Structures are given as C-alpha cells and as structure tokens.
Chains A and B, each alone.
Chain A
C-alpha cells in the first residue's frame, strides 16, 4: 500500500512537472541544458546496480539452506552504492548552487531541487532499510515472517530505483 501510495504521489509530481514545462518550454529547455548529465547517468548506474545487489541478496534470503556469506555482501554492496548515490547527488547540488542555481532560481530548478530532494529522502530511508537487510542477510536461518519483511524492504528499495529512472528521464534527458 505504501508503494502504491508513493507511486501515485510521484505520478502527480511527474504530471505537474510536464504541465509546467509546457507553459515555460524555453525556460525549462535552457535550464535543463545546464544540468550535467554525467551526474545523472552515473547516479542511474549506481541505482540500477544497487537494485541488482538487492535482487541477488533476496535470492539468498529465500534459498532453502538460509543465507550464504554472499547474501550479506550483496546487501552491503547495495548500501555502499546507495551511499555513493547520496555523495554524487551532494556534489551535483553543490555544483548547481555554486553556479547560482537554487530552488528559488526559476520553476525548473524549483522542481529539480524539490523532486530530487524528496527522492533523496527516500534514499536515506532506504539506506536504513538496507542496514536491516544486511543484518537479516547475515543470519544462518531466516524465519518466513522475516523473509516477508525483508521482501517488503527490498521492494521499497526497488521503488526508489524506479522513481529515479523516471526522474532521470524527465529532468535530465527531455529536451
């Protein structure tokens, strides 16, 4: 339900962004060109790879003999990649702010900082979830109830990845 609610809210965000874009197409185009796509592309690589690690970790949690040593390693790798995302995002924001582009600059940058900021909050919550998954992944046996909780945690992280995929396209790639 949380995932569905989040998807609905972000759907509204995406629709509002493109609606505003239609009204100020030239401003959005110029502002968007000042974004460095390399940050966005690298963050996409980090997010997709992190999701891969979570998917591999979940296989380990569910396997009949219980988690293997690699299971915990997968979740730790996912967390490291997630921290990498936060660091890259911080550098990107710092670069924008150094160029005088802030949330108050214009509508494009209002959306850029607001949406990537809300997404970043989701990432931070996700890092806490990944920490729990690291603990679960380090156990010898995982009870069925804990498996289901772990699955919910994994799905949350994939949601964070999914939202970034759309944000990357709408904020960085549309001309």
Chain B
C-alpha cells in the first residue's frame, strides 16, 4: 500500500541533493564505462527527483488518488519517452 504521509521536507531536500550529486557523477565520470546508458540513467534520476518534488513538496501523496496517479503516469510516460528517444 502506498504511503500517504510525506517525509519531512528537509529529508526530501537531502534526497534531492544526493540524487543531483549522483547524476553529476554519472554524467561525467561514468560516461565511458556506461556509454549512452549513462544518459538514460541521468534522465531516470531526473524523473525520480521530479517524483519526489511532486509527491512530497507538492504534497500529491496526500492528494486525491486520481490526481496522484495522473502525475505518476505522466512522469513515467515522459521519462520512458525521453529515454527511448535518447537511446535511439
């Protein structure tokens, strides 16, 4: 069952900073070993951050379920579309 309680905003912020740092490292240092997949990982991390901003800062976790589902569906669809576009 999905949680409807958001973590404290500072926890979310720390996660977002950590994810940003990861994507900087992956985008720079891991391009050679990962090749084009580094970019796909960067896009995926970006949308993980988007999800955290939406669910916790925008408080969609506590919003009516249809609204939350639409947001999550949009995030997944655009993330997947961009990854496919990037890799092809």
Residues of A within 8 A of B (CB): 4, 7, 11, 14-15, 18-19, 21-22, 37, 41, 44-45, 48-49, 51-52, 54-56, 59, 154-155, 158-159, 161-162, 165-166, 168-170, 172-175
A–B Cβ pairs within 8 angstroms, 24 of them: A4-B70, A7-B74, A18-B82, A37-B24, A44-B20, A45-B17, A48-B16, A48-B20, A49-B13, A51-B13, A51-B57, A52-B9, A52-B13, A55-B9, A55-B12, A158-B57, A166-B47, A168-B46, A169-B43, A170-B46, A173-B23, A173-B24, A173-B27, A174-B42
B58 cross-chain contacts in A, Cβ below 8 A:
154-155, 158-159, 162
Question: In the bound complex, how far is the Cα of B73 from the Cα of A168, in angstroms?
Answer: 22
B82 cross-chain contacts in A, Cβ below 8 A:
14-15, 18, 170
Which of B10, B24, B38, B39 lies in contact with A52, CB distance below 8 A?
Answer: B10
Question: In the bound complex, how far is the Cα of B43 from the Cα of A14, in angstroms?
Answer: 11
Extra inter-chain contacts (9) besides given A158-B57, A175-B27, CB under 8 Å: A48-B13, A48-B17, A158-B54, A158-B58, A165-B53, A166-B46, A170-B46, A173-B23, A173-B24
Which of A19, A41, A165 lies in contact with B49, CB distance below 8 A?
Answer: A165
A55 cross-chain contacts in B, Cβ below 8 A:
9, 12, 56-57
Residues of B within 8 A of A (CB): 9-10, 12-13, 16-17, 20, 23-24, 27-28, 31, 38-39, 42-43, 45-47, 49-50, 53-54, 56-58, 70, 74, 78, 81-82, 85-86, 88
> B24–A54 contact, CB under 8 A?
no
A7 cross-chain contacts in B, Cβ below 8 A:
74
Interface SS of chain A:
helix
Q: Give 10 closest A-B pairs by Cβ, nearest first.
A: A169-B46, A173-B27, A55-B9, A18-B85, A52-B13, A174-B39, A158-B57, A173-B42, A158-B58, A162-B53
Which of A15, A37, A162, A173 lies in contact with B81, CB distance below 8 A?
Answer: A15
B78 cross-chain contacts in A, Cβ below 8 A:
11, 14-15
> A165–B88 contact, CB under 8 A?
no
Shortest Cβ gap from B31 to chain A (Å): 5
Shortest Cβ gap from B6 to chain A (Å): 9
A52 cross-chain contacts in B, Cβ below 8 A:
9-10, 12-13, 57
Question: In the bound complex, how far is the Cα of B78 from the Cα of A51, in angstroms?
Answer: 22
Shortest Cβ gap from B44 to chain A (Å): 9
Known contacts A18-B86, A52-B10, A169-B23: A162-B54 contact under CB 8 Å: yes
